[in-house]
Structure formats: C-alpha cells, structure tokens
Chains A and B, each alone.
Chain A
Amino acid sequence: MLNEPKDLVGNVLYILLARQFEDDRLLSEVKDWRMTVVLDTDYYPVTLTFADGITIERGAVPNPTIILGTTFDTIVSIAAEEMSPVRGLINRKLRIRGLLKHPRAAFRFYRLIVRAMGV
C-alpha cells in the first residue's frame, strides 16, 4: 500500500500517511485514487503516485496532477500547529498548482495531508 522511502522528506510523508492508513476505510478509499502529486519543497521535490496505493519517490515526475509548493519549515509549522493550512495558503506558504484543472484531486490530497498532519 505504501512504500518506505529512504529519503528524509519521503520518510516524513510515509510516517504521516502510515498512521492514517490504520483506518481501513480511508485505506480502501485512497486505493481507488489515480493521481500524481509532487511535493516541491525547498529541500528537494518528492512525488506521490496514487495507484492502488501510494508510491513515494524522491524527485519530481513530469506533468503531475498537482504540485504543492512549500518549504520544510512550513511543513514543520503546520505539524506543530503554529500555522494552519488555510493560513499557509493565504500567505502563499503553500502553493497548489493544478487546482483549477484537477480540483477534485487537489481537494483529496489537501484533505488527506491535513488529516495526516493532525490539524
């Protein structure tokens, strides 16, 4: 369902998502998703490929469904509940590309990651 990446950002995503997938309902829902998301951080980009599960890989694939641009500091601030995701979007600390073209995918990923961050 979820591979264990060996890089730092990928491993952070793995830890966040693995906790959520203890919920079987969410797990079966996510299994049906088909999309590619690039998390483009100031450290390096990571690609999440949703296809019968999630594959997390270092690097950015060309033409992803969604690109979420941010910094690791912003991820940390959201995780520590020092910044809300909405505030992050308003302040352009979180930037979503592909939102207009793939609103459903963007919403799904946003919802998943917000849940994973526990905020």
Chain B
Amino acid sequence: MEIKQRLMKIVGPERVADGAAEKHVYSYDMTENPSLPPSLVVMPQTLEEVQQIVQAANTTKTPLIPFVTGQSVGGLTIPAVEGAVIVDLKRMNRIIEVDEEAMYVLVEPGVTFGHLKKYLDDHHPTLRYTYPLAPPYTSVLANALLEGLCDLSTRHGAMADFINGLEAVLPTGEVVRVGTGASGEGNWFSRYPLPDLVGLFAGWQGMTGIVTKMALQLWPKMPFNRHVGLLCFGEEPTIRMLTRIARTQVLDDSVCVSTPLVKMVSGVAAPVELYDGEPDYGMLLTVSGNTETEVSEKINVIRRIVNEERETDSRHVLISWEGLMKLMGDQWGPFVDLPSEMYKVLAEHDGLTWVGTYIHPKYWKTVLEEGRAIVEKYGFELIANLKAMKGMHFGEFKFIFRFPKDDDTVKRVRECNAELLDLALSYGAIPYKTPVWAAKKLQERLDPNFVMLMRRVQRALDPNGIMNPGRWGLDERD
C-alpha cells in the first residue's frame, strides 16, 4: 500500500493533501532558503494518529517533516530530500494542563503564543509564560524546541530553558516521555534529576522524533513592572552598557536594536535608514518587582550605569516609558504586553530572514561592528537585534532582513547571510534555528567527535533516517 493510502486510512482522506497547491505552499518558508516540494501533507489530530503516521513512515522509509503553524524560518520545515511527507500538527492545539503550584503548562504543538497568553490571562492571571518577537500565532512548543529568544531571556535564557519535559513519538514509533512527567500524569515539575533527555529533542530540528506534548515553566506575574528605553551611540558603549546592566541581574529582559528598527516601530515607512547624528542603537529594558520601591531601585541601578557612561558621551539618553510613548508613539504600548504584536513592522515584504547566533560576551561588540559593515556593504536596512542572555552568560545577535523575494534580492540576501555567518563563526558564535547551508558551515568548525556523537545519537533513535533527514547537515551516511 502506498504511503498516501496508509495515511488516508489513519487520519481520513480529508486530512491528507497532495495537490499542486499544497506542494507549492509547503515548499517555502519566509526566508531565502531554497524550496523543495513535499510529496504530500498529512494533518493528524491525536497522539495515536501521529504514532501511526510515524510507524507507517518507518516501515516505508518515508521522510517526515514536522510542521506546525506555518511561520517557519531557516528552511526548517522545507524538505531537504525528495518524497517527504509534511506532518502538519496545527490541529493538535490543546492546552492540557496548567499546574498553578508547580507553575507549568502542558501544551500540544499547535498551541500558539497568542492563545496561551489569552488563556493564562483569562484563567490563571497570576501566571505568565514568556513571549518572543515572533508572530502571535507561532507555536509555543516549536519555539522552545528550537531554542529561540523570548522576553524573559535576559533572566532565564533561551526558550529551551523553560522546558520541564516532553512527550514524543520516536522515529521507530514508540511514545516516550522525558522529565519528571515520565513518572506519571500531573507531575511535570522538572527535567531534573533524571538524566536530562530533553536534550535528545531540543535543538534537533525534528530529527529525533515528533514532540506531541511539552511541559513549560510559567512564572509569577510580578505586581510591579517597568520599562525604560535607552538611546545610545557606538557599538562599544552600547555593548558595554548592555553588558554592565545585564550583569547587575536587575533585568527581566533586554532588547537592543539598531535605530532603524526603533524608527520602524515608531511608524517610519520603508526603507528606513540610519542618518548621521542619530543614536546607533535603542534598548528596551524591563524590570519587575514585588514592590514599587524594588522596581524603582532597579531602575536606579540602570540609571547609575547610564549616568557614568554619559560622562563620556552625554548623548546616551535613558527614557522613561511614559516619555517614550509620548515621544515615539503609542504603538510602543503593545510591545511590552506581547512582543509578538510588534512583529508587524517586519511584515513589509514576502521575505524575512536572519542568521541568529549565540556568542561569547567578549566577541559581542566586535561581531556587531563588523556585521554592521557587512550589512551596509550589501545596502540592506540595518536591523540589528541583540539580547543579553541568562544574566549575561552569553549574548545573542542577529541582523534581520525584510526583503522582496525577487531573484536578485534573494541572491544578495543569501550572500550577505553567508558572509555574516562566516563572521559569526570566526568568533565562535553558534547559530540557532540553523538552516542546512549554515549547519554545514558550522560543522566544518565543530570538533569532529561532536559531529560523530550527533550522528550516533540520531542513528540510534532513527535507524531508517526518516525524521527530517538532512537537517544539521547530517545527510552523508559515512
């Protein structure tokens, strides 16, 4: 029996599609990564259906690509091989459990940031999750698996750090649970002290199974919150201030962007340039506390550092949230409620991409300076985005491009991204949400034994190589 018939038997014919429309639409994402059509798309609704799909694929050695809500990047849901089946998980969208005591939520893949925020606000108003600068309908689970950023990253790290445990269907069809949830229902309080097998799935880009449930840490919604803006000049002072402030541990989060992005949010129309005399960067810093005094003191800590820097350059300016809203527009308001709402400024064309990397703090400033020169050389809008990560244990940086997907621009974007990645790798930065082309460049710089270990783990879990084959550049069967 052909795979299509098997899948139709599992989920019903109406949830299997192999028309030219589906093959086309699922063969792209918003980035510049090359397209390759799948052979068909299947849309399961239950764990049992996912399990049967994986078993069928394992029997027929059919490649499977997990896909959720469609805002994919890095070519991560574009098949890297012919004949792949895309498993569209958007209909598995239940918020299964919120544990108020242990502060976690158990979700299925189709739950989006918008839905989760609304649900928590309505039903568990004392708790919050963490939200990225991504469209509001992006999968919470996928973003955690892909180790992306969020608005608590400066305090807690990447989204994968919020994972308490998960349920997955292995490539060979078994359903497994990792984290304390493996000991029974309603017990997803931690990923430790068992061996941390979350690492078998987080960061693997769907190569080790299909994750069907995930328990994620929630945090108390603090009674007092405040945001301040900071306009600053030059890469060195900017990074120095961000680093100093982050190391004080007063921040919940920090977003540092180049001024063109500040102006985009304020309503300046595309294309947005950086002019002489303008600050180079703008930061949005978030603090919270149990009392107003606690919050005010945290702001004072920030102010002291900025004032010290102002002795060298008085143009660095700290702006209260009220002042920022007054001077730069009310559209900044939603940013602090749900960063996703600001994503619209990036939705200018049909293309959007970046090479996002995590980097040692000592190289942050240099990479920013040199990366900026590369972006300027290619003539793109300068949209740098930086974040102090996990109390300043490391930094994040990326240059974002919003671009029309005509052939010439796509070619330029590819060249620019490749150059930026080479730069980042030369300073030991590690890309996240890594496209195949970038993973191959990365592999050249990684310890061969690390790559060997990745291959060994992947083959142990997926002997027939059916799960998202080719990702991380692990396609050669040597």
Residues of A within 8 A of B (CB): 4, 6-9, 11-12, 15-16, 42-44, 58, 71-73, 75-77, 79-82, 117-118
Contacts and interface: CB of A to CB of B under 8 A. Distances in A.
Given A4-B267, A42-B315, A12 B276 contact: no
B326 A73 contact: no
Interface string B292-328: 0000000000000000000000110111101100111
Nearest to B273: A6
A80 B319 contact: yes
By Cβ-Cβ distance, the 5 closest A-B pairs, closest first, are A44-B277, A80-B323, A79-B323, A80-B320, A79-B326
Contacts of B317: 72-73, 76
Contacts of A118: 326
B366 interface: no
Given A43-B279, A73-B317, A12 B273 contact: no
20 contacts: A4-B267, A4-B269, A6-B269, A7-B278, A15-B327, A15-B328, A16-B326, A16-B327, A43-B277, A43-B278, A43-B315, A44-B277, A44-B278, A72-B315, A76-B318, A76-B319, A79-B327, A80-B323, A80-B326, A82-B320
A73 B327 contact: no
Contact of A44 (B231, B263, B272, B275): B275
B370 to A, nearest CB: 24
Interface in B247-306: 259, 262-263, 266-269, 272-273, 275-279
Given A43-B278, A44-B277, A6 B326 contact: no
Contacts of A81: 322
B463 interface: no
A8 B322 contact: no
Nearest to B272: A6
Given A42-B315, A72-B317, A80-B320, A11 B268 contact: yes
Contacts of B319: 76, 80
A17 to B, nearest CB: 12
A6 to B, nearest CB: 5
A71 to B, nearest CB: 7
A6 B267 CA distance: 9
Contacts of B259: 8
Contacts of A71: 314-315
Contact of B263 (A8, A43, A72): A8
Contacts of A75: 327
Contact of B231 (A4, A11, A72): A72
Contact of A12 (B272, B315, B318, B328): B328
B38 to A, nearest CB: 42
B266 A11 contact: yes
Contact of A15 (B231, B262, B267): B267
Give the residue among B276, B323, B327 with the most A Cβ atoms within 10 A.
B327
